[in-house]
Amino acid sequence: MNALCGGFAAFPYEMRPETSSLPSATSKPRCPWPGVDPLYLAYHDEEWGVPEHDPRALYEKLILDGFQAGLSWIIVLRKREAFRAAFDHFDPEKIARYDRAKIEALMQNAGIIRNRAKIEGTVTSARAFLKIQEGEGFSDYLWGFFDGKTIQNSYRDMTEIPAQTPLSAKIAKDLKSKGFNFCGPTVVYAFCQATGMVNDHLVGCWRHKACRAHAKRRV
């Protein structure tokens, strides 16, 4: 058993259907959490679990997962393009220079989640990102916790999937020590699942094998 096992599911649980196993009446067997929402299905089929190594994309996903805290991921997903427009497409160098006036402007933007602490945390996290990026690089820093390789889990039921793990707690603690905000162990584990550091597609889901293949293509 690897270091990430134990607990409850960290997938976007707000869409959890009554069954915790794979649906049988679909053209392709999938993890059940996307339900029938087209946007959620596209996210599951095209993004979730694909290994991400681009530093800026990793920063964006970590920030958006932080905005999800206390809410549902589908809310963030529906607002993602508005977030990108509001936050300069998540360019850390620009965000790190946001001043009080910019933060107040963001607080008036109805297209995003207007939480002052999370908005201010995005700025603080951008500055932390830049420090890491100037050193070892943000992608290498995060993937270093996994020795550069995706952890391939083999869960058959969503009740087996953890909400957080000792490793996600370790990463969360380290991120916070470096100045990141809204990155607790559960947020971090959801982030690791989404960015392919952990493959938590159920083994019966067609994306489990596809994401495993994505991980193998990285040299």
Going by pLDDT thresholds of 50, 70 and 90, the confidence category of residue 70 is confident
Judged against a pLDDT cut of 50, whether residue 7 lies above it is answered with no
Residue 60's nearest CA partner among 40, 31, 88 is 88
Q: CB-based contacts of 198: which residues, under 8 Å, 6+ apart?
A: 4, 150, 151, 153, 189, 192
Judged against a pLDDT cut of 60, whether residue 8 lies above it is answered with no
Mean pLDDT of the chain: 89
Query: Which stretches does DSSP call E strand in the chain?
Result: 151-152, 198-199
Average pLDDT over residues 72-94: 97
Judged against a pLDDT cut of 90, whether residue 12 lies above it is answered with no
- Convert the pLDDT of each residue in 56-69 to its tens digit: 999 999 999 999 98
Q: How far apart are the C-alpha atoms of 16 and 97, rounded to whole Å? A: 39
Q: How far apart are the C-alpha atoms of 199 and 208, rounded to whole Å? A: 7
Average pLDDT over residues 100-126: 98
pLDDT at residue 216 in the model: 75
Strand 151-152 vs strand 198-199: parallel, antiparallel, or unpaired?
parallel
Half-sphere exposure of 90 (CA within 13 A, CB side): 19
Residues of the chain with pLDDT > 90, as a percent, come to 83
pLDDT at residue 11 in the model: 53
Judged against a pLDDT cut of 60, whether residue 192 lies above it is answered with yes
Q: How far apart are the C-alpha atoms of 63 and 187, rounded to whole Å? A: 10
Judged against a pLDDT cut of 80, whether residue 202 lies above it is answered with yes
CATH number of 29-217, picked from 1.25.40.340, 3.30.70.1060, 3.50.50.60, 1.10.340.30: 1.10.340.30
Answer for the pair 47, 31: CB distance below 8 angstroms, yes or no.
no
- Convert the pLDDT of each residue in 114-151 to its tens digit: 999 999 999 999 999 999 999 999 999 999 999 999 99
Point out the least confidently predicted range of 51-55, 83-87, 215-219. Answer: 215-219
Q: Where are the domains of the chain?
A: 29-217
Q: How many CB atoms lie within 10 A of CB 137?
A: 14
